[in-house]
Structure 1
């Protein structure tokens, strides 16, 4: 029985390394020849990165309770190179040194013991069993034995436990693409190199190179590329492409080296374009490595060929999934069916577990209860090639598409009920697979398959910011499925709501009109009611209040007859907006309060957040901050849980109104800027009902802040979501009070504490205030009677202390924090 113990790894620490110099081999082998007896091969250059992994493996090997450690991982992840690097730092920890044995030249398990004996320099005669001779040679030694490339002779793994039992001071470090499944084995899965997380909204001029060089993968690419082309450097112009290369290659060292070798003839941008299909490009490795590591395809094929036929079948079929998947997903899509049409769940579980042990499939961390699994993209591409060659692709694509249709169909009602957060997370994880399935369905019959996928997912698109995609899916599927059915009416209503979200009111009205016609023809009351809500929204947005009221009345009558409490709440929320538009705030609040009760009974958190946002914003406009703040807090909490960035932006605008009322103009500007960035990212423009109060807030802030408003706006439109949450929570924690109250001493005390913590001097505050006023360095020097270079030194210190990269960002952060006004 195996006692595998996965090792817990700390988070990676940034490395400050020089990206120039000799290229270190980072894949699994340095050359194709076995090392001399027992000698650990010497690398041609220092290892790039891997500090976290080196420290973790070294710590484990120093633990006397760990005597067999296996470094596992897919081909090209750098197991061998990591082992060499670790051994270099551990020689003094083993009295009798380190011996190295490479098993790659052999192909049979019965040759393992003699190969180990050769590596240890054991001399024996035919009269003495080989194991006895080995034990006699090393029994008195306190040593580390490194056994490289064990995966293809894993049947001989019991020999390692025999050696350990006979030699109490022996420690073994093995590398293998699969676990060995022997007693006492401790497993360290070697991860791919850390890849950069580069913000999509990084502003022009942001020094991306410093950020990217904290990534091991980028460091390796730069070193290998500069060895191929001496003038290659990481610059702001090519940084994003280099980051994309490393991400597209999953951080696999061998793949990164093979890609960087192309830099002599391809720019980073050209490499990114060609890596849409990865394997054909990664096919020209060094001559002095084994054939299995000269191309990425060979590296993967070596592992694939070691699988038995059932494992190969599951591996190639699983490549049909574009993203992560659960065991239940695998059973439904890839398992062989029994005679009764069912699939054997336990067989699939065993085969997936075996692929995990062989590092071809990996378990992925998620917040969901069910374990999720995935494949590196290079492995998936190889698997998909095998699926094509096997002739199974068409059948697997069909199974996959129909399974995604079932998921979408089940999602519709769940997205307005108590399980909506779970389902939103599930659909987000499945989004790439849903996209793949929809594209397949659009090219195959029946046409209702694509329409059902699109119709079941429009609420997901609405909530998660895929509004344009959701609408395009429905409208393209509608063109293929003209039959006037309930499915078509459902899809038309969904498309109408999404069109309204984009403020395309004419399109929305046409879509809801046809839905109403079909629902009337087929006598579907619920669909008629939904169409009336949509038409009421269109009319209300156009300020056609009588028509809007007519449609809402019709909808409410229908849903009351059906006893549909959740949709009655939807009608009420829209009526509340209509009353707000008509300058009837008290009635609007009361209507939204009643709607919130019904949403709460239905477990619809998005509905609750919608009502709370409306109540909070109306209260903020009336300077009723005691009512505004708790409602906006609830809205933000629920929108965050739902991943609804558009809704979050609406609530932020309500908090900005509170901040303006409290005289906190700088942070109000920050919130509106951040909200604008969120709206743009998810294509969620401001509703006409909100336009006038929004423009009033902007005008007030421009008046109060002057030129500083522009600095704040430009900087804070790109705030990260976590920063936005911190900013809004700070404002909500302050005691709400009207603008004409006395200054809040607690706020000023917090500002003073922050200034002290940052170490900002009074002179630096003076300089920063003048920078905010638009003064040049010479103007500041003249006004403060100091030199221009002294001004520049103060500015440089401020950028460091405020952790920003530009003067405008420094001004914006100082204004937000109250350091300057």
Structure 2
């Protein structure tokens, strides 16, 4: 974009918008590059309003790839700048973004507080779409905490409002959310109605993340209602586009680039301080003053060097952790597949009238996978990671397993599966 270099503000705005497009297209590494380039330009021209926007965008990206500490850092940076400059709209956007990160970190009270603060400000400013999106986020928070009635009330109220302002992506994800609540309540007829409508809507939206999510939701619904051909077809589409373990490596690259950006920023600040010291040296002839300034400069250099080393070590540590996590995840997945195949062979040799083992034929393939994990002592989060489903979906499968096995909890379910020597 050399032709925009003479107009740095316009160049930065283009970078920012390209970052948004890249994120929506699922190219998170490219999005991070654009966002950081935009932030550099905004800082250079000292446009605080656009700096706040870029900081919130970077925070949103880090929240999406689950680097929550960096997301908190950039949201708090944006909020601090908003308060200094009395930027009310930026404050609302920052509160909304911060609430999403706090939701993921389990900071429930803080998340609700920031959500409601953002809703109040957007309402006062008359920003309809932002107001509806923040109310959607609050409903999504209630959904993740299994407060389905509270969530459904809000989703039902914002859905027609999104339709009025022709916000198709937001209307689609709200429709999808309503379908998921009905699915959790085992109201499968309504769930199918809303989930299929959401899937049709997303065909007009270029959002890979939304597409993957809706394919998975439909696959699990079809499996639950016994439409196995549709379930197989939908799951096959999902398998072609689902995230791989390489996502972790991409996230690490993004974090490394962001650390380099902060290092460059600190280096520039050091150079500015060095220039100031040089100017001060020219203006004074006092030996003691010069000595004091040199001490200050060397102290700053030492502090910044320590900080730089800290971020370098931290980046290397995260890279090693990411590598270990990849290797562990691959080993766990291979182990799970081996255990499952062994169990499935045993199941195929059993007869429905074979005493205590007859319950096996009541379970779907996915439910048997989940039950295998329960018997092996795997947590809900680990089950979700292994089977590429959400924790809420794991809980839904567990509920149906308990009901079919006539047990009360995961311990009893594990005892049943061990009782027939499947594990």
**TM-score class, shorter:** 0.5 to 0.7
Find the residue that maps to 1:549 and give its secondary structure. helix
1:522 to 125, 132, 135: 125
CA gap 1:461/1:637 in 2 versus in 1, 3 angstroms = farther
| Matching residue of 1:589 | 192
Give the Cα separation in 2 of the matches to 1:630 and 1:455: 39
1:465 to 66, 69, 72: 66
Q: Contact 1:489–1:514 at 8 Å: present in 2 too?
A: yes
CA gap 1:690/1:663 in 2 versus in 1, 3 angstroms = closer
Question: Which residues in structure 2 correspond to 1:217-236 (within 5 Å)?
Answer: none
Question: Which residues in structure 2 correspond to 1:646-685 (within 5 Å)?
Answer: 659-661=365-367, 676=382
Give the Cα separation in 2 of the matches to 1:461 and 1:637: 25
Q: Contact 1:616–1:628 at 8 Å: present in 2 too?
A: yes
User: Do structure 1's residue 686 and structure 2's residue 289 form an aligned pair?
Assistant: no
Question: Which deviates more from structure 2 when the two are superposed, residues 520-529 or residues 550-559?
Answer: 550-559
Question: Which deviates more from structure 2 when the two are superposed, residues 570-579 or residues 463-472?
Answer: 463-472
CA gap 1:563/1:692 in 2 versus in 1, 3 angstroms = closer
2:151 to 537, 540, 548: 548
| Matching residue of 1:407 | 15
| 1:43-99 superposed Cα distances (whole Å, 9 cap, x missing partner) | xxxxxxxxxxxxxxxxxxxxxxxxxxxxxxxxxxxxxxxxxxxxxxxxxxxxxxxxx
CA gap 1:673/1:463 in 2 versus in 1, 3 angstroms = same
User: Do structure 1's residue 479 and structure 2's residue 184 form an aligned pair?
Assistant: no
| Matching residue of 2:222 | 619
Unpaired runs of 5+ residues, structure 1, are 1-327, 343-398, 708-772, 774-814, 816-820
CA gap 1:507/1:596 in 2 versus in 1, 3 angstroms = farther
| Matching residue of 1:434 | 36
TM-score after normalising by structure 1: 0.31
Post-superposition offset of 1:444? 10
CA gap 1:481/1:590 in 2 versus in 1, 3 angstroms = same
CA gap 1:622/1:702 in 2 versus in 1, 3 angstroms = farther
Give the Cα separation in 2 of the matches to 1:610 and 1:663: 20
Give the Cα separation in 1 of the matches to 2:160 and 2:370: 45
Give the Cα separation in 2 of the matches to 1:644 and 1:593: 28
| Matching residue of 1:768 | none
- Bigger fraction of residues in strand: 1
| 1:734-773 superposed Cα distances (whole Å, 9 cap, x missing partner) | xxxxxxxxxxxxxxxxxxxxxxxxxxxxxxxxxxxxxxx9
Post-superposition offset of 1:498? 3.1
Q: Contact 2:129–2:162 at 8 Å: present in 1 too?
A: yes
Give the Cα separation in 1 of the matches to 2:207 and 2:55: 21
CA gap 1:615/1:678 in 2 versus in 1, 3 angstroms = closer
CA gap 1:542/1:479 in 2 versus in 1, 3 angstroms = same
Question: Which residues in structure 2 correspond to 1:245-644 (within 5 Å)?
Answer: 331=2, 341=6, 406-412=14-20, 415-416=23-24, 420-421=25-26, 423-427=27-31, 430=33, 434=36, 446-482=47-83, 483-622=86-225, 624-640=227-243
Q: Contact 1:606–1:638 at 8 Å: present in 2 too?
A: no
CA gap 1:637/1:562 in 2 versus in 1, 3 angstroms = same
Question: Which residues in structure 2 correspond to 1:49-88 (within 5 Å)?
Answer: none
TM-score after normalising by structure 2: 0.56
CA gap 1:536/1:484 in 2 versus in 1, 3 angstroms = farther
| 1:213-252 superposed Cα distances (whole Å, 9 cap, x missing partner) | xxxxxxxxxxxxxxxxxxxxxxxxxxxxxxxxxxxxxxxx
CA gap 1:576/1:535 in 2 versus in 1, 3 angstroms = same
Post-superposition offset of 1:436? 11
Q: Contact 2:15–2:37 at 8 Å: present in 1 too?
A: no
CA RMSD of aligned residues (A): 4.8
CA gap 1:619/1:644 in 2 versus in 1, 3 angstroms = farther
CA gap 1:444/1:643 in 2 versus in 1, 3 angstroms = farther
Q: Contact 2:371–2:414 at 8 Å: present in 1 too?
A: no
Post-superposition offset of 1:481? 0.9
Q: Contact 1:463–1:643 at 8 Å: present in 2 too?
A: no
Give the Cα separation in 2 of the matches to 1:704 and 1:435: 57
Q: Contact 1:612–1:632 at 8 Å: present in 2 too?
A: yes
| 1:286-342 superposed Cα distances (whole Å, 9 cap, x missing partner) | xxxxxxxxxxxxxxxxxxxxxxxxxxxxxxxxxxxxxxxxxx5xx599xxx6xxx27
Give the Cα separation in 2 of the matches to 1:568 and 1:643: 31
Give the Cα separation in 1 of the matches to 2:103 and 2:51: 22
CA gap 1:448/1:532 in 2 versus in 1, 3 angstroms = same
| Matching residue of 1:185 | none
Give the Cα separation in 2 of the matches to 1:693 and 1:616: 13
| Matching residue of 2:298 | none
Post-superposition offset of 1:575? 1.1
Give the Cα separation in 2 of the matches to 1:591 and 1:625: 19
Give the Cα separation in 2 of the matches to 1:543 and 1:677: 19
Find the residue that maps to 2:203 and give its secondary structure. helix
Find the residue that maps to 2:391 and give its secondary structure. coil
Post-superposition offset of 1:536? 1.5
Aligned length: 302
| Matching residue of 1:6 | none
CA gap 1:568/1:406 in 2 versus in 1, 3 angstroms = same
Q: Contact 2:179–2:194 at 8 Å: present in 1 too?
A: yes
Question: Which residues in structure 2 correspond to 1:726-805 (within 5 Å)?
Answer: none
Find the residue that maps to 2:73 and give its secondary structure. helix
| 1:247-299 superposed Cα distances (whole Å, 9 cap, x missing partner) | xxxxxxxxxxxxxxxxxxxxxxxxxxxxxxxxxxxxxxxxxxxxxxxxxxxxx
Post-superposition offset of 1:597? 1.1
Post-superposition offset of 1:474? 1.3
Give the Cα separation in 2 of the matches to 1:490 and 1:633: 38
Post-superposition offset of 1:596? 1.1
Q: Contact 1:559–1:565 at 8 Å: present in 2 too?
A: yes
Give the Cα separation in 1 of the matches to 2:188 and 2:92: 34
